[in-house]
Structure 1
Amino acid sequence: MTRIPRIRRQDFGVLTPPPLGGWSPTLTVTVVIPAHDRQQTLDLTLAALSAQSYPAELMDVVVVDDGSAVPLRLPELVPDGTKLISSPPGGWGRAWALQAGLEAATGEVVLVLDADMVPHRRHVEAQLRWHHLAPYVVTLGWIDFTVADRLPSPERVRAAVRDGEEDGLFPLSPHRHDWAEKIIQDHDGLRTAPSSLATRIHVGATAAYPAALLRSIGGLDTSLVLAEDTELGYRLTQAGVVFVPDPQARAWHLGLPTAMRDMAALKRYNDPYVADRVPYRRYLRTDAGRQWLVPYVDAVVPAGAYEDVRATVDGLLAGSLPDVRVTVEGPWASLGAGRRSPLRDPDLDLRLVHATFEHDARVRLADPAAPPPAGPERVVAPFRLTVPPGWMPRADTVERLVGRLEEDDGGVLCLALDETEGGVLVARLERASALSRAALVAEPGEPLDDVVDELFGVEWLDGAEWGFTRRPAGYPPRRRPVPEAERLAAQREKEIARLRERAAALRAELAEVRRQAGKSERDAARWREKAEAWRREAVRLARTQNRTVITRAVRRMRDLASRTASPPAPRGASRPGRRQEDGPGTS
């Protein structure tokens, strides 16, 4: 048994396609062409297919007439093994016609080609070479657009394709699938694109699918009239495929598609349908509390004790990520309606769980042994979270875990909750596409987690650090539990009130400081006035004292001057101002 190649995430670089024209194909392919009133361009499409390099004995063509006003016919130039069928009654549209073509296809690969496409000579060969390397690739052709006023004849087209002169058939339009080509260019030819982004480039005008894989996921969603390729791309991703755009698988697109002619109207129509079916388009799911056909996370809780199951389910539904559907797995069919002792019923816990969630639209009661559901319910969510009953996640736990898995396009997160005699109790978040890919390539008996680790990665985390705790002892609570948001709001209000009181006290303190500062300024002004008065008094006194001293000095100077100017008196003469005393000999 040949080992299937293992492609890690989107990195199809591990595959080495053979050069065009230098290999020998073995796979059969059916080209399915849905058509509605496209006879003229259909003739050119079939003419180009009649000159393909892929072996004619390995290729057949199914044209599906989707209720054309004038029934389509097969022209003269067609590949061998071409047949025309009509869409069955009961539906209409491209998806309905493609599903009819898929059911009629006999090839191992189904290549879908629109009726306004003119493929180059190597178009089929370029895509099919990848399918010979791995059975889970979906190849995409490379489209050039033309808005030619006049179309060549089928004979001219066949001759140009046969001779490799396709480039000269039509004038090249400047219009391109720029957004898709940018994604491809920015991610190394799509090899490094994350799963949620790679699926976006699935444009169904020219693409080839493994027929068995396409049938295993239910084919096309025939309820859709438009956006069927977007929805199919999402389901293919969850099935584990790898998208491979091949620039050598070239084809002309005759005219511009609706997306280029009226993008606003197309988005307005498609958005509600895409939002309901493609969880990756997070920007379309911004309404809190809304429920969708395909959830973002499918949380699984095994049936157990009533209180444990209820606590876990309640915690999951109360999270910050509203786009969660909870599935409680148990043997619900075993709950009979016969007479029993209500309080001593051996299935009492299972019956209470059933009664609690039977009518909750967010909760699904499923039997793990039952076959998978059919129809839209078979579409899987991109993430599956399994939580043992009795453990409750924090409000932001699920949202943070999904973010962690998306950071590196990881495969599985295992969260250790507790260690018991039976081993480690684990909560587990899985990427659906990683598990599907591992199942496609795993060898018999090989542990699936080992394959997932090789393809996408498996990481172990501490459950407590990510917000998982045991349920409270008394559950369910008799009072309505305060939601985390309300509790935090009340806590903030209390803190705000405390800060307001503190602010008021600081304002009062500031007012007192300002009052004291004003009083100090008035006191300072008063002391400045007194100081100025004292200074003036001091100057006045100083001046007065100085005048007195000067007056005395002048008098002394004058006195000295007068004494100096008068002659000295004779001896014995009395000095002026002195009384002569009587002496001896005086008569």
Structure 2
Amino acid sequence: MIPVAYNDAVIRPAVSSEPSPIVFQNQWRDVFDGTLPEGWEPTKSVSVVIAAYNSATLPLTLASLAAQDYPQDLLEVVVVDDGSEPPVELGDVVPENLRLIRVEEGWGRSNATDIGIKATTGDIIYWVDSDMILFRDNVRQHAKWAHFIPEAATIGDKGFIESWDYTPETVYQKVLDGTIGDDYDRSTLHEHWSIQIYRDTDDLNASHGRNYSTHMGACASVTREVYDRTSGQDTRLHLGEDTEIAYQLWQAGAVFIPVHEALTWHLGPGTVQNHAAKVARVNDAHFAQRMPIPRYRRTSDNRIWEVPLVKVVVEVTPETAHLARNCVDRVLTSTLTDVHVLLVGPWSTLDEGRRKMLADPRTELFLVQEWFRTDNRVLFAEEVPDTVFPAPYRVDLPVTVGVTSDSLMQMYRQIDGNRLGAVRYFTPGHTKDESVTIWDSAAVARSRRYLDGEAVLEDLVDRIWGFEWGSNDTAQLVDLREADLSERVTRVEPGVARLEAEIAVLREVAEPASLPRQIARRVNAMSGNRLAPAVRRVNARLGGAPAAALRRLRGILR
């Protein structure tokens, strides 16, 4: 049987003998603390994208960009006019490499930003709001991180000012001579909510990437390499779009870095500053559909969300298809309900032509397809995917393995609670390569960049996020080839199961089993609990006659 696993984990390419400086989780400071080598000069190009709608402050933003100390041949600025009436004015003081694009279809910041990014080619994408004044070395402070950390996603430092009398000319001159920061005392200005998160997480070093929401669009950058792993801007969103793309960047392996030296003035209060409750009310429903983490956003169980918390990948062949229904049904009756299943098999070979219904070797595949045809938690695919992005967790489950009601919940708690990149479980009746594995998508996304030669994916994941072997006492896995597939698959809540076990013990104490029953239980235990299922199967094939006869005999003896 071919193991179900990430493609590269099976191919097993390798890394070079000299290990690359790879960030562990989000601990960026261990790789680069921001101190530049003497004489360092940037080599990566930067594309600044500004979405503007009826913006009176855009000329001030452009003037500050014109005065940047970043090499002009490495800096391009694209302004996307999101349908302003009258069209936006750029002003007379603008960057050397400036383009203006007018939105022809759609509306909103995410749509305009998407258009702008697609029109650029820079190694670093830097989205800036049209009400920002960037200090002289702002672009340089952002861009330097990408030169040392390929997955860098940086966030600048904003000072919110309520009034100003700037002109494009004065902004340009003040930014150029470095005096723009003298105009306001930052310690007296509104403190953004992200600052406390930085304090609590050692500037996100201890965040594991989970504080992705601090990566806001007012002045945030990311390497194009990481951005290209995402699905891009969600143009359906008209508020909170920067948080949604930040979540995608996290799942694509980004390293989030607050750059306190990348200073700006924000012209006016932020949207959340004065309308936090209203913004949260609008965003909550959209965020819950798209972002499984943090978990508090999804306030209801037994729901089907656009992006699941866990996606289970099961590979099916004509030879193993008779196990697929039981395997997947067990997944779908888990206590962890935030789950989708990807069934990988030769579905394209199933046609509607005339066939022998009972003799066709594809019959079991047809039955599997029909069984799950109307369940939209089950998706059919022809090939094992490289990634389940943007779902944060993936379980590779051989079709020959069955989970119990609580298996997925326990696996999720182990990998999530211990912040691991992968956990592989000792699986009854299966080899190491056939074992069940749960993967963290962000860890895998970052690891794949460093696959080269003969390295094993799990070794890279261990280096980047941590890897463990888990006990089957936690996973509660069974070998379906030894199981009774005729039994009804139902969800058993862990609390109910514990109570039933306690009741069984109490019943044994109060009413000791008869000698024959005690002997039967002892023999079943000695067989590794295989005898009882076998007896039940025989009883079922005989229409329940043996069990009925035994009950009558016990009644007579009583």
TM-score range with shorter-chain normalisation?
Answer: 0.7 to 0.9
TM-score computed with the length of structure 2 as normaliser: 0.82
- On the 8 A contact 1:307/1:390 being kept in 2, the answer is no
Query: Per the alignment, do residues 48 and 22 of structure 1 end up closer, same or farther by CA in structure 2, a change over 3 Å counting?
Result: farther
Letter of the structure 1 residue corresponding to residue 461 of structure 2: V
Hey, what does 1:257 align to over in structure 2? 270
Hey, what does 1:275 align to over in structure 2? 288
Taking the aligned partners of 2:300 and 2:208, their CA distance within structure 1 comes to 25
Taking the aligned partners of 1:62 and 1:425, their CA distance within structure 2 comes to 50
Taking the aligned partners of 1:414 and 1:120, their CA distance within structure 2 comes to 49
Taking the aligned partners of 1:491 and 1:30, their CA distance within structure 2 comes to 63
Q: 1:462 aligns with which of 471, 477, 481?
A: 471
Taking the aligned partners of 1:495 and 1:392, their CA distance within structure 2 comes to 25
- On the 8 A contact 1:110/1:208 being kept in 2, the answer is yes
Query: Per the alignment, do residues 489 and 440 of structure 1 end up closer, same or farther by CA in structure 2, a change over 3 Å counting?
Result: closer
CA deviation map 1:99-152 (0-9, x unaligned): 11101113221111100000111110101111111221111111111111x421
**1:160 corresponds to 2:167:** no
Structure 1 residue matching 2:60: 3-state secondary structure: helix
Taking the aligned partners of 1:248 and 1:298, their CA distance within structure 2 comes to 40
Using the TM superposition, give the Cα deviation of residue 476 of structure 1 relative to its aligned residue in structure 2, in angstroms: 3.5
Q: 2:85 aligns with which of 66, 69, 74?
A: 69
TM-score computed with the length of structure 1 as normaliser: 0.78
Structure 1 residue matching 2:459: 3-state secondary structure: helix
Q: 2:42 aligns with which of 12, 25, 33?
A: 25
Hey, what does 1:185 align to over in structure 2? 199
- On the 8 A contact 1:301/1:328 being kept in 2, the answer is yes
Query: Per the alignment, do residues 283 and 488 of structure 1 end up closer, same or farther by CA in structure 2, a change over 3 Å counting?
Result: same
Letter of the structure 2 residue corresponding to residue 41 of structure 1: T
CA deviation map 1:474-525 (0-9, x unaligned): 3233x67574569649849968998xx9xxxxxxxxxxxxxxxxxxxxxxxx
Give the 5 Å matches for 1:76-475: 76-89=92-105, 91-148=106-163, 150-170=164-184, 172=186, 174-178=189-193, 180-195=194-209, 197-304=210-317, 305-368=320-383, 379-419=389-429, 425-471=434-480, 473-475=483-485
Taking the aligned partners of 1:60 and 1:306, their CA distance within structure 2 comes to 55
Taking the aligned partners of 2:496 and 2:322, their CA distance within structure 1 comes to 23
Query: Per the alignment, do residues 30 and 366 of structure 1 end up closer, same or farther by CA in structure 2, a change over 3 Å counting?
Result: same
Query: Per the alignment, do residues 468 and 163 of structure 1 end up closer, same or farther by CA in structure 2, a change over 3 Å counting?
Result: same
| Runs of 5+ consecutive residues of structure 1 not aligned to the other structure | 373-377, 502-587
Letter of the structure 2 residue corresponding to residue 399 of structure 1: M
Cα RMSD of the aligned pairs, angstroms, is 2.8
Aligned length, in residue pairs: 489
CA deviation map 1:322-377 (0-9, x unaligned): 101111111111112111111111112211111111111111111116898xxxxx
Give the 5 Å matches for 1:532-543: none
Letter of the structure 2 residue corresponding to residue 26 of structure 1: T
Q: 1:7 aligns with which of 23, 26, 29?
A: 23
Letter of the structure 2 residue corresponding to residue 53 of structure 1: D
Q: Which moves more between the two structures, 197-206 or 117-126?
A: 197-206
- On the 8 A contact 1:157/1:169 being kept in 2, the answer is no
Q: 1:34 aligns with which of 41, 51, 56?
A: 51
Taking the aligned partners of 2:493 and 2:288, their CA distance within structure 1 comes to 29
Query: Per the alignment, do residues 456 and 493 of structure 1 end up closer, same or farther by CA in structure 2, a change over 3 Å counting?
Result: closer
Ranked by relative contact order (alpha carbons within 8 Å, sequence separation 6 or more), the top structure is 2
Taking the aligned partners of 1:209 and 1:216, their CA distance within structure 2 comes to 12
Structure 2 residue matching 1:60: 3-state secondary structure: strand
- On the 8 A contact 1:20/1:122 being kept in 2, the answer is no
Structure 1 residue matching 2:77: 3-state secondary structure: strand
- On the 8 A contact 1:108/1:211 being kept in 2, the answer is yes
Structure 2 residue matching 1:85: 3-state secondary structure: strand
Taking the aligned partners of 1:416 and 1:154, their CA distance within structure 2 comes to 66
**1:57 corresponds to 2:73:** yes
CA deviation map 1:211-257 (0-9, x unaligned): 24323423211111111111111111111111111100011101111
Taking the aligned partners of 1:325 and 1:464, their CA distance within structure 2 comes to 24
Q: Which moves more between the two structures, 281-290 or 456-465?
A: 456-465
- On the 8 A contact 1:18/1:129 being kept in 2, the answer is no
| Runs of 5+ consecutive residues of structure 2 not aligned to the other structure | 1-15, 511-558
Taking the aligned partners of 1:289 and 1:452, their CA distance within structure 2 comes to 31
- On the 8 A contact 2:329/2:489 being kept in 1, the answer is no
- On the 8 A contact 1:20/1:125 being kept in 2, the answer is no
Query: Per the alignment, do residues 476 and 225 of structure 1 end up closer, same or farther by CA in structure 2, a change over 3 Å counting?
Result: farther
Using the TM superposition, give the Cα deviation of residue 387 of structure 1 relative to its aligned residue in structure 2, in angstroms: 1.3
Taking the aligned partners of 1:335 and 1:37, their CA distance within structure 2 comes to 55
Using the TM superposition, give the Cα deviation of residue 443 of structure 1 relative to its aligned residue in structure 2, in angstroms: 2.8
Query: Per the alignment, do residues 216 and 405 of structure 1 end up closer, same or farther by CA in structure 2, a change over 3 Å counting?
Result: closer
- On the 8 A contact 1:32/1:63 being kept in 2, the answer is yes
Letter of the structure 2 residue corresponding to residue 436 of structure 1: A
Hey, what does 1:539 align to over in structure 2? none
- On the 8 A contact 2:410/2:474 being kept in 1, the answer is no
Query: Per the alignment, do residues 298 and 369 of structure 1 end up closer, same or farther by CA in structure 2, a change over 3 Å counting?
Result: closer
CA deviation map 1:183-224 (0-9, x unaligned): 2111221112123x2312111111112224323423211111
Using the TM superposition, give the Cα deviation of residue 23 of structure 1 relative to its aligned residue in structure 2, in angstroms: 2.3
